[in-house]
Structure 1
């Protein structure tokens, strides 16, 4: 007799199906979070490498830059480098000739380790130098943020970084001009990267004077000074925003801010001086301040219109972080020591790091007790600690020198990136800049490190209580020779 399958409630089937869908959606969300975290870390490391390469200078022409697009075959690149190495034999300077040949040989041998017939979707980028600060350098970027468009080889005193910098600009670039009677400021904004290209103070004369000259003559002097300022602003915009011929600009738009009469005259002056810039003016605002304060006000007024998503998200994120901190909700934590503790306990939902944070993770070793203590200090505090350890003015300082020494020192961002695998898998990382008002406040007042917690916990009170307990233990500690102290 055929047995019937056991009865299953249809509602239970729907619940099981919903559970499976939740699990699949959860796995998709975790994959997206993991990919976003990997992207944030790779971009941070790439920006650090770019900053390091920008500050490097080689001896004569020993810095080799190589951009390889996807369509370029690697064995062709190896043959090209071999020809360049042979051509470098004609360099008259012996030291420079050896440096260039050694760098090209090192780069050629490195390329031979790759599959010469394999295609890399985004291409590859290499930077190589043989005698850079008496060291050999080879940096390879196998997964650039954007595809390499054309093959480029450069051998110079500095590395060629224009293409790499362009790849990191994932958002359109806008120009911001703040002009009033106290001077002008010209800047560009790309994402959260704000660069001030030129800033100058020029105070216009007041409209009224005590006397000594006729009112008509004084009025003519004021008008002449105003026209001179307008021409200076228009000429500075042409030099900062347009090419050498003044016929083309790479900006997506220009925002003109400041006093209404000066803005209108600048725009009319640009119609004759540089029409390509005048056509790019997309907005005009009246701001109450001049200089950098006026620029910050202009950014807040134009964020939604220009859709500066990255900058807008950063400002909102930090504003919400400050609001949670002021309300003492125990949902956020800041500072190196408390944030790292929350990370190690797996209680961090979103980690916020300042890109240019100078906070150092310092390991201090006590040779007497053979214990290591971790401190999170700014560079000035690290120097003060080293000076206090190295003092030999009195006997107490000498004893301290024999007991304590700075064992290791590392930037907090680099330490977190290196140990990211040991933290929670669903951790979200956000790197912010110090280009905005909120970013400056976060960097200076919160050490450039903070986090949103998964579960509310007052780490500050907990840390203070633990410190108090440690002090009590030290007061009633026991010594083997002398007994209780």
Structure 2
């Protein structure tokens, strides 16, 4: 069995079990973003897969620098320079487009470089139209080589954070609007009501707070086979003692047969019915309100239910 990506770290560790975290990170669904830096001398193309940065291509140009002479010689030189620059941008545009068009799960593209050249390149439609639409931001970097890619990732991380918060705010606002719509509200909240709506396949978007610290526990009696499920806060579960089976005539203590994080459990139920799952942080007022006022569990319905 081969890992899906090359292993780039070396770790020697003595333990009673295998250390599989690097492999688990590879198997996790990462968000993928395209990166490229450009000026009149260099173009570096990379990809950001989760936390991993890959350098995919580095091009150098033959566009001449400034010409010190005056008169007709200077004007002729400037024309030749602009022709060379255009050919350079065409070459870069084709290379960037060919690389990014192959990536089906590309969420967006960040562009970097020193000076105004990067913005001119983007505005002049040298890229394939499908790639052009995926540009999220054009950011300043001091370099156009591999160190510039690291600069771009650092600058892009702040933009991505702001985009995530803005998206979360809009989703929660949409939910709150449905809450206030008393006639035909398509909002549901609270674990019990959300579970009911999920079982009916009525939820379009499930909203879960990232700060939920709860578990869904399945209890079972090994004598009669009776089973029940309950939800516990993380702190309460640590001290929890399973009760006696309510169906057995003689006192028989039930046992915890399964314990699952509530976010994972509800997300799986949502995916079974094709509902979208949105994890909402508390970094905004809306996200905090979802956690405090609605218990961190809510949904936007496909249709109104009684």
TM-score, reference length from structure 1 = 0.32
Scaled by the length of structure 2, what TM-score is found?
0.48
